[in-house]
């Protein structure tokens, strides 16, 4: 069985694959001070509770946008599962795509993994919108090559910035308001964030397609993606498992070389 680890800025997702089947999936908050032993005990207990034998894991792959976490996650794989993990971004790991960027080494591992997964499943060219700590727009051509994109503040990050910077603005939850014109402070904040992001999605998607010079298929992923997909028809596909499936595909590509 394969242990897949997606380490983001806010959460780390651990999943166990047995072939194509996901046997278990768990999340932990991303914390630089958490040790390999803490992750190991926590994850082993959750796996056992779900009827998965930790000793059955015989391979692992890691994608992390937090460089400080890579050593800890490697140690976790070695110490608790007795496997040497593949790490997306290391020179020995082949992604099967060209990174058409001025500085390829700066591209986040999650963005490349999403590009691999989306190209394998959806007709290109593609725009992949990932609603994470940052909201990212990634461009993939019809051959699966990565062409960059846009990075915007994430929805929750924007809400927190409003609260922190303006004394009279409270913390609010993300949700779809029934109307655009807010009749009080909280409804106005919710409307600005929600409908503002819909405008961001539609505007950037249009400009990216025009600049790229071809019609593009738009795929959305990330925790808040379902909330925004329902309000715009520019997004054609919602795919919550995009990153994990991309890691599975990258692992298979490398172990069969």
Question: Do the annotations mark residue 9 as ligand-binding?
Answer: yes
Number of H helices and E strands in the chain, helices first, is 7, 10
Helix (H, G, I), strand (E, B) or coil at 8: coil
Active-site residue 110, yes or no? yes
Q: Please tell me whether 30 is known to bind a ligand.
A: no
Q: What is the DSSP letter of 255?
A: H
Contact 128, 108 (CB under 8 A): no
18 known ligand binder? no
12 known member of a binding site: yes
Say if residue 182 carries a ligand binding annotation: no
Q: How far is it, in rounded angstroms, from Cα 5 to Cα 80?
A: 14
Which member of 33, 37, 94, 110 is catalytic?
Answer: 110
Quote the tokens at residue 15: 């999943």
Q: Is 133 annotated as a binding residue?
A: yes
Residue 8 marked as a ligand binder: yes
DSSP 89-148: TSTT---SS-B-SSSGGGS-HHHHHHHHHHHHHS-SSEEEEEESSEEEEEEE-TTS-EEE
Is 111 annotated to bind a ligand? Reply is yes
For residue 109, say whether it is annotated as part of any ligand binding site: yes
The verdict on whether residue 130 carries a ligand-binding annotation is yes
CA distance 17 to 71: 22
Pick out the residues of the known binding site for ATP: 6-13, 133
Pick out the residues of the known binding site for substrate: 108-111, 185
Catalytic annotation, residues: 110
Pick out the residues of the known binding site: 6-13, 108-111, 130, 133, 185
Pick out the residues of the known binding site for K(+): 130
């Amino acid at each position: 069985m394969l242990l897949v680890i997606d380490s983001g800025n806010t959460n780390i997702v651990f999943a166990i694959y047995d072939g194509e089947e996901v046997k278990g999936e768990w999340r932990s908050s991303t914390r630089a001070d958490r040790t390999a032993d803490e992750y190991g005990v926590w994850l082993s207990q959750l796996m056992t509770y779900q009827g998965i034998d930790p000793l059955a894991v015989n391979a692992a792959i890691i994608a992390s946008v937090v460089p400080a976490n890579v050593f800890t996650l490697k140690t976790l794989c070695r110490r608790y599962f007795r496997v040497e993990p593949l790490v997306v971004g290391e020179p020995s790991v082949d992604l099967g795509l060209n990174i058409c960027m001025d500085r390829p080494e700066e591209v986040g591992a999650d963005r490349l993994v999403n590009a691999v997964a989306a190209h394998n499943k959806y007709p290109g060219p593609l725009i992949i919108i990932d609603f994470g700590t940052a909201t990212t727009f990634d461009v993939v051509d019809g051959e699966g090559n990565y062409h960059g994109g846009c990075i915007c503040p994430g929805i929750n990050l924007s809400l927190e910035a409003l609260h922190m910077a303006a004394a009279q603005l409270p913390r609010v939850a993300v949700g779809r308001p029934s109307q655009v014109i807010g009749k009080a402070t909280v409804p106005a904040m919710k409307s600005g964030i929600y409908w503002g992001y819909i405008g961001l999605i539609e505007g950037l998607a249009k400009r990216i397609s025009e600049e790229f010079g071809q019609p593009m298929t738009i795929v959305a992923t990330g925790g808040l993606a379902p909330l925004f997909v329902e309000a715009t028809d520019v997004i054609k596909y919602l795919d919550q498992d995009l990153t994990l499936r991309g890691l599975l595909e990258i692992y298979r590509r490398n172990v069969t070389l």
